[in-house]
Structures are given as C-alpha cells and as structure tokens.
C-alpha cells in the first residue's frame, strides 16, 4: 500500500484507452440539423461549424470487452472550406466502417462488395457496429483524448476474434489468407491524420 506522504507510486488518473487498441464500437451520430440535399446530406445528421466546415458529430460507444460502455467522440469530416483533405479522410473512415461492419475486404471490388459500400443516407451509419482502431489525439485544450481514425476490416488477422464471428485461429506464419501484424489495408496506409484538433473545427 502506498504512502500518504508520497504519491509518486499512485495510479495515474489518465482515462485513455491505449493507442492501437482494437475494439468493437457502435456509432451514434449526434444530429446537427444541417442538410444539403445536393450533397446527399439529409435527415438532419450533419453539423455545420462556424467556419463553414460540415461534419458528422460521432459518438462511438465500445460495446464489448475491457472498455465496454466507454465513449469516444470523433468528428467525421464531410466538407472543409480549406480543401479536400478532411472530406477525403471522412470518406475513407466511412468506407472502412462499412467494410468492417459488413465483412467486406478492402480489396474486394466485386459487385456485391461495391453494393455493401453504398448507403442510402446517413441514417444507415447511425447505429452501425464495426471494429475500430483506437487512436490518441488532442482536444481544444491541448489535452490528450481518444479518437477513431480508422476501422479494421476482415483483412486484419484479429478481425474475426474481435468481431466475434469466428473462433480464434492460430495460423502458421505466412499461411495464405492470414495477414501479418504489419499488414495494412489500403485506406489505413494513407498518410496519418495530423495530431491535434482539426483546424477547420476551431
């Protein structure tokens, strides 16, 4: 038991989920009431910020495991007046979410896979469950916070175990059909998001 005079050995109060943790999450979109039918943004799901940026205000709840019921708040960029980067990152994340939720390999370009990557509107994303890779960024105050920047698809060796769709299988090293730990799907291999609060969200 620790001393009540020296608190160096007390547990840290950090409440962060470790960077790189894989967890099954459910997305709840917190409606912002902004619609633009020409973009397909209907149903009041999108939020328009003071800078003109448009995004989905995502609340991701961990559904199972050690961190069950923990919530992670991440904005999914739809549009920024400063350029296409946040739009592209938002679209990449949603593609990964759909691949993960619907069990589609990122490399699968079949008609069935392409249909699985289409949505009729943001309502299709509200409540979607998928495997997320937990990251750490910073909030408006400069403090660390958990974020979700990528989803894990069936290409990843731990996907089935985390999703709960198959028993744990140990494959020989280099066995066909099993990705190495270093394997990244195409959308994960893009340049990582810059740390810190997105400039368009200020």
Is residue 108 in a domain?
A: yes
At 19, which helix (H) or strand (E)?
none
Reported confidence tier of residue 4, pLDDT bands at 50, 70, 90: confident
Instruction: Locate 67 and state its tokens.
Output: 């961190």
Residue 1 lies in a domain: no
- For 34, the token pair is 């902004």
Query: Residue 16 domain-assigned?
Result: no
Q: Would you call 142 exposed, middle or buried from its count of C-beta atoms within 10 A (0-12, 13-18, 19+)?
A: exposed
- Helix (H) / strand (E) element for 192: namely none
Kindly state whether residue 138 falls inside one of the protein's structural domains.
Answer: yes
User: What's the number of domains the chain is made of?
Assistant: 1
| pLDDT for res 1 | 60
Say if 14 falls within a structural domain. no
pLDDT at res. 140? 85
Local structure of residue 156 (DSSP, 8 states):
S
Residue 33 in any domain: the answer is: yes
Residue 194, domain member (yes or no): no
43-76 in b/e form (b: 16+ CB < 10 A) is eebbbbbeeebbbbbbebbbeeeebeebebebbb
Query: Tell me: the pLDDT tens digits for 90-106?
Result: 999 999 999 999 999 99
* Nearest CA-CA partner of 131 in 108, 158, 92: 158
| pTM attached to this predicted model | 0.76
**Domain with 129 in it:** 22-164+174-185
Q: Tens of pLDDT along 64-79?
A: 999 999 999 999 999 9
Q: Are 89 and 187 in contact (CB under 8 A)?
A: no
How far CA 196 is from CA of 81, 135, 144, in Å, comes to 19, 12, 9
pLDDT tens sequence across 15-74: 899 999 999 999 999 999 999 999 999 999 999 999 999 999 999 999 999 999 999 999
Q: Is 193 among the domain residues?
A: no
């Amino acid at each position: 038991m620790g001393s009540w005079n020296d608190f160096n050995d007390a547990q840290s109060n950090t409440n962060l989920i470790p960077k790189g943790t894989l967890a099954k999450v459910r997305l709840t979109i917190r409606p912002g009431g902004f619609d633009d039918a020409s973009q397909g943004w209907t149903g009041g799901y999108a939020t328009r910020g003071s800078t003109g940026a448009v995004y989905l205000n995502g609340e991701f709840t961990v559904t199972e495991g050690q961190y069950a019921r923990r919530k992670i708040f991440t904005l999914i960029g739809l549009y920024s007046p400063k350029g296409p980067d946040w739009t592209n990152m938002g679209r990449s994340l949603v593609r990964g979410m759909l691949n993960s939720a619907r069990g589609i390999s990122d490399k699968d370009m079949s008609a069935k896979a392409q249909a699985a990557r289409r949505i009729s509107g943001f309502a299709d994303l509200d409540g979607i469950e998928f495997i997320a890779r937990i990251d750490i960024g910073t909030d408006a105050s400069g403090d660390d916070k958990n974020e979700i920047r990528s989803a894990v698809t069936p290409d990843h060796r731990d996907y089935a175990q985390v999703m709960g769709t198959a028993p744990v299988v140990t494959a020989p090293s280099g066995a066909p059909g099993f990705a190495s730990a270093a394997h990244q799907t195409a959308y994960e291999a893009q340049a990582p998001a810059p740390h810190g609060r997105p400039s368009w969200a200020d």
